[in-house]
């Protein structure tokens, strides 16, 4: 592997490799979360892939020996603590946390219910906060960690008629939470950053790209003229998880084909 700066001897493996590291990815049974889990494992990490659908996680782990499937409902405090504790019991550490689990809400504000709005915020915002907080309490003094929160372009700009009030609130809240936790935990050795995906063809965006009207709307409003392809956001998560970003915290990394820059 070629050196990056011959005076330091830093290599790409040193910068981006995750050998010996332990990671957690929530919402890993499908979509972007599945890609994140595989990318971190391919970089050398042991990845605890967490989701409610254990059968899908088991199938994922069958193809990648570095993946450890864990059934976890992120809205359950018991499950969250079990997930973190299992990392320490089995692997002795937790270096990377990717808060990816989430669900969409209704697109029209008038269709939101009190219970439904609260449910979206619980899954998309509160669950990741509580998981990160517990992980932070378990981090040994002197150790470092990287926490990565997955937001959305819907948390940055209006995407009406697609999006939704509760989802937008949860994803905008994720960005504010990222900055605040970065400020509180930076001197403890914990970096906290956010990744903002644009439009990717996943289970959560089911129907968006299969409909020519909505697919055309994405193409017209994205600088690159298309939606994101599988794997095109994995590098951003790998960058934030690795030593390539050790002087980066409290930041938002946008991977949207230019959607929010137009």
Question: DSSP alpha helices (H): ranges in 145-197?
Answer: 165-185
**Apex CA 173: angle with CA 169 and CA 208, to 5°?**
50
Report the b/e string of 57-71 with b at 16+ CB within 10 A. beebbeeeebbbbbb
Residue spans of alpha helices (H) in 125-164: 127-138
Specify the residue for token string 């819907």: 154
Catalytic residue among 48, 147, 167, 247: 167
Which sign does the torsion angle of CA 158, 193, 256, 25 carry? negative
SS3 assignment, position 194: strand
For 197-216, b/e burial (b = at least 16 CB within 10 A) is bbbbbbebbeebbeeeebbe
In angstroms, rounded to a whole number, what is the distance separating the alpha carbons of residues 144 and 154? Answer: 31
7: helix, coil or strand? coil
The CA distance from 50 to 31, in Å, is 13
Whole-number Å distance between alpha carbons of 78 and 73: 9
**Of 14, 79, 1, 2, residue with least CA distance to 43:** 14
Is 147 catalytic? The answer is no
Q: Which residues are catalytic?
A: 167
């Amino acid at each position: 592997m070629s050196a990056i700066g011959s005076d330091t001897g830093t290599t790409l493996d040193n910068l981006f490799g995750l050998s010996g590291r332990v990671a957690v990815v929530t919402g890993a049974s499908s979509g972007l979360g599945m890609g994140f889990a595989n990318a971190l494992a391919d970089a050398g990490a042991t990845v605890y892939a967490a989701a409610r659908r254990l059968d899908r996680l088991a199938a994922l782990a069958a193809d990648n020996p570095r993946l450890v499937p864990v059934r976890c409902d992120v809205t359950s405090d018991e499950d969250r603590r079990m997930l973190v504790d299992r990392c320490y019991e089995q692997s002795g550490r937790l270096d990377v946390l990717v808060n990816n689990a989430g669900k969409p809400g209704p697109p029209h504000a008038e269709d939101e219910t009190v219970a439904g709005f609260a449910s979206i915020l619980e899954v998309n915002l509160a669950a990741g906060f509580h998981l990160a907080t517990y992980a932070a309490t378990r981090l040994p003094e002197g150790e470092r960690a990287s926490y990565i929160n997955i937001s959305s372009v819907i948390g940055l700009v209006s995407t009406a008629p697609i999006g939704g009030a509760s989802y937008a609130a949860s994803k905008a809240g994720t960005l504010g939470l990222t900055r605040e936790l970065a400020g509180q935990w930076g001197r403890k050795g914990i970096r906290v950053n956010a990744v903002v995906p644009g439009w990717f063809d996943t289970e959560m965006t089911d129907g968006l790209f299969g409909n020519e009207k909505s697919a055309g709307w994405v193409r017209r409003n994205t600088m690159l003229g298309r939606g994101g392809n599988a794997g095109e956001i994995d590098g951003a998560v790998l960058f934030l998880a690795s030593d390539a970003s050790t002087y980066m915290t409290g930041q938002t990394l946008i991977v949207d084909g230019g959607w929010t820059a137009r």
